[in-house]
Amino acid sequence: MIWIKNAHVIDPATNTEQDMDICIEDGMIVGMGTGQIPSGAATSKEDVVIDASGLIAAPGLVDVHVHFRDPGLTYKEDIQTGARAAAKGGFTTVVCMANTRPPVDNADTLEYVKKEGKKTGINVLHAAAVSKGLKGRELTDMEELAAHGAAGFTDDGIPLMDSELVKKAMEKAASLNLPLSFHEEDPALIENNGINHGAVSDRLGIYGSPAEAEDSLVARDCMLALHTKAAVDIQHISSAASVRMVRFAKDLGADVYAEVTPHHFTLTEEAVLSHGSLAKMNPPLRTEEDRLAVIEGLKNGSIDIIATDHAPHSTEEKARPLLEAPSGIIGLETALGLGVTTLVRQGHLTMMQLLEKMSINPAKLYRLDCGVLKTGGMADLVLFDPEEEWTAGEYVSKSSNSPFTGQKLFGKVKYTICKGKIVYQDEKD
């Protein structure tokens, strides 16, 4: 048994915010409330008692956009190390993307990554590819992949340019009641990916990636989602116009979600000047106007989800010249801290609203039975200190490609509990 005493419980799924005790047994929450743990209660030597005074207890965080690089690129990350990074960040459920080598476009590869995911201490789910070989020409056997446990479908990393194919994919996914996630960047409008087309790219003497490359595909897929009734996730949204288009699609009745990464609500294109390739990602960091629009989208509900797009790369790869280095940064171990520091402490979101974007909303998108704390429910939760300041670094991920290394953040994860077992504990505790 695990006895958690004096926790400040915040659960957006039930709109609960109060001090209480939590009792966990056999992987389930068996009691929540005040006085759940009698003083002097006898415990066996196997029982764990956690004094959570000063800590927030929340549903285990859910990240619907991670890259664990397995199979094929495990020098960057593998499913085991990725899961450990997730647990350290407070995540108990993650959805891995399909752009591995080979891609998750067939039942055999899907079964492999599922098997590896079950070896970890957290819930590792996998999206399957929309198109065979991630080539954007022919749909995968989405029905077969769904039967083998695909959590959803995405060609993330590669935009789908064939509108007819996208429409067919949406129709099929809608019939399977599974979501589709889209990487929205038209390569025909981009000369140098990973860097915004604007003042910084001009200063660097390159063209970069303009916002219209994102906006044009977001507009297409929002309207196709409206007409097909598919559940569609606009991944890593970064431009002010795209935020407004998602809002418009929602108002029309489309089942459209949008996710934003911590780096897009924290940094702007200026970060490229100080961090180089560590601030290079697709879509790129954009202007301060875009950053503020993204934050406003989080506040007004246009953006439903915070997801990391955890994208590990080796030190050698990121050390290449800016235009040759790969795009992407790691994010699982800093996401909660960036949310607390940038959004909650600066008054943009309440803690309840932040946790909503990181637990129940992503769970709803992927039709998952998690993201809530309730008696009789699975014991997936995170305990964190919202006031503890810590320094980003000392990652358990295989990779360390982050512009946030060395930054002071608030909101320190102390315990992550998944299926009733402690999968991460801060070394100080």
Catalytic residues: 309
Q: Tokens at residue 415, please? A: 């315990």
C-beta neighbour count of 80 within 10 angstroms? 18
* Three-state SS sequence of 193-216: CCCECCHHHHHHCCCCECHHHHHH
Confirm if 220 and 248 have CB atoms less than 8 A apart.
Answer: no
Cα separation values, 1 from 9, 129, 136, 374, Å: 19, 40, 49, 16
Pairing of strands 16-25, 2-11: antiparallel
C-beta neighbour count of 39 within 10 angstroms? 6
Q: d(Cα 9, Cα 336) in Å, to the nearest integer?
A: 16
Burial of 127 (0-12, 13-18, 19+ CB in 10 A): buried
Residue 409 backbone dihedrals phi, psi, to 5 degrees:
-130, 160
